[in-house]
Structure 1
Amino acid sequence: MAQATALTYRTTAAARRLDRRRHSRVKVSVLGRFMLENRREYPCQTLDMSPGGVSLVTPVGARVGEKVIAYLDHIGRIEGEVVREIEGGFAMRINAPLRKRDKLANVLTWLANRDVLNLPEDRRHERFTPKNPFTQIVLPDGRSYKCRIVDVSLSGASLKTEVKPEIGISIALGKMRARVVRHTEDGIAVEFANVQNRDLLEKHIS
């Protein structure tokens, strides 16, 4: 009986630890798009996320109970419904089977560690200057500006430009999508939405 009780306790404790892991919210900032029930799409950015829910900064609000489908960089497609309004956006519950929730937990752990270790800004990918260093950036409102690529890696680039969009904003760099992560003396540093292949990077960035 004692052994059975101990086994039950260990099993229950393990289940509680797993449940906490599945529902533990971590602060992650990734870009994406979401679609409301009226099928209109808007950009968004995560504030924090767990395998069971996510808080999004959005340009438009959504009513509690409304169905939402979102596509987030590094994470992919999620769906669920709005559970509450927050300042500048809303929080949604994620509807997903257990297997997908476990995958989300692993991705969120990686994203959280990446942010803590400042990986987007480290030198884990060799930097180089493309053959054609001149390109342009396009802001969300459609304005475009010429810029010069100081150096670039598979995960990001340093740009010399007269304009300095606010940190966190999503821009187009050549044919690629990127996010402003830092201001420099002569311009900005950006992080790509996805790690690139070098040949495609050279082709699409200029």
Structure 2
Amino acid sequence: MFQNVDGDSAPSRSPFDWHDVRFIGAAAGRYALPDRRADDTGKVAVYACRLCSISTRIAVIVGPVVGKEGETVTAHFDDFGILRGKICRKLQSGFAVRLTLSDAERNKLGGKIVWQKKKVHEQVPDKREHKRILPRDPRTILTLADGTQMPCFVIDISQSGVAISAEIWPGLGTPMAVGKLVGRVVRYLDVGFALQFIQLQEPGQLEILMAPPAGIAEESGAVG
């Protein structure tokens, strides 16, 4: 307890009010922009995203759709739980969210951040036939069969296919290209869909081939 100038006891405050903590590192998650309604049903679209950094005040997120400054964001990350706030600035790689937290919630999040910074991650062998990787830059361009292009977010990618989050819900079998990688939609995900490439790719070339064509990312604003 803290003492005020009159000697009375004052309510204790979270130590994170005085000394903020920050975690910098990739964490997969999902987010929604509740102010937007996807269709007449009133459903809100949910997109995949990646958390780049987080403190008890600000979270920096990369995702396929960026709202306007002041727009509400609700996100979920396994290690940090549900986060709510408002976009305070748009960044070249995504957007920053000013978190809306009570003192108790801020204290709890601060503890999770400290734990996450200290936690030792065990390396578990990937037993899948084609190992999935998280690209260093998940932003790229999706090209449909009619030539339409739009920004998208790569959830993960392997030699045989890629998982995508974007502002469309294509039918199964729909052909499209992610960067220079061509494939067809083979299944749906909670936050997007998966493509199977028409041929296996070299692991070392995946990030090069999935990148947006030169100049297009800047012109279209690949995630925002």
With normalisation by structure 1, the TM-score equals 0.52
- Counterpart of 2:97? 92
Q: Contact conserved, 1:61 with 1:90, CA < 8 A, in 2?
A: yes
How many aligned residue pairs are there?
129
CA RMSD of aligned residues (A): 3.4
CA distance 1:82–1:106, shift in 2 (3 Å) = same
Unaligned residue ranges in structure 2 (runs of 5+): 37-43, 137-154, 158-162, 164-189, 191-202, 204-224
Distance (whole Å) between structure 2 residues aligned to residue 160 and residue 24 of structure 1: 36
Over 3 Å counting, the alpha-carbon distance change for 1:120 and 1:52 in structure 2 is same
User: Matches of 1:73 and 1:60 in 2, distance apart?
Assistant: 21
Q: Are the counterparts in 1 of residues 21 and 114 from structure 2 also a CA contact under 8 Å? A: no
Q: How does 1:62-141 map to 2 (within 5 A)?
A: 62-114=67-119, 119-122=120-123
C-alpha contact 2:132 2:156 (8 A) present in aligned 1 = no
State the match for 1:27 in structure 2.
Answer: 24
The residue number in structure 2 matching 1:147 is none
Give yes or no for the alignment of 1:158 onto 2:126.
yes
AA aligned to 1:120 is H
Q: For the structure 1 residues 16 and 105, does the alpha-carbon distance in structure 2 shift closer, same or farther, using more than 3 Å as the test?
A: closer
SS at match of 1:48: strand
The separation in 2 between residues aligned to 1:19 and 1:47, in whole angstroms, is 22
Q: Is the 8 A contact 2:30 2:77 kept in 1?
A: yes
- Greater fraction helix: 1
Distance (Å, rounded) in 2 between the aligned partners of 1:69 and 1:160:
32
Q: Distance in 2 between matches of 1:90 and 1:101?
A: 21
Which SS does the other structure have where 1:55 is aligned?
strand
AA aligned opposite 1:30: A
The sequence identity of aligned pairs, in percent, is 24
- Residues 31 and 170, structure 1, Cα contact 8 Å, conserved in 2: no
Q: How does 1:9-24 map to 2 (within 5 A)?
A: 18-21=16-19, 23-24=20-21
1:54 and 2:62 matched: no
Q: Specify whether residues 46 and 16 from structure 1 end up closer, same or farther in structure 2 by C-alpha distance, changes over 3 A only.
A: same
Runs of 4+ in 1 over 3 A off after TM superposition: 14-18, 162-172
State the distance in 1 between where 2:56 and 2:14 align: 15
Where do 5+ consecutive residues of structure 1 fail to align? 123-155, 178-186, 188-206
Quote how far apart the aligned CAs of 1:17 are: 6.1
Q: More relative contact order in 1 or in 2 (CA 8 Å, sep 6+)?
A: 2
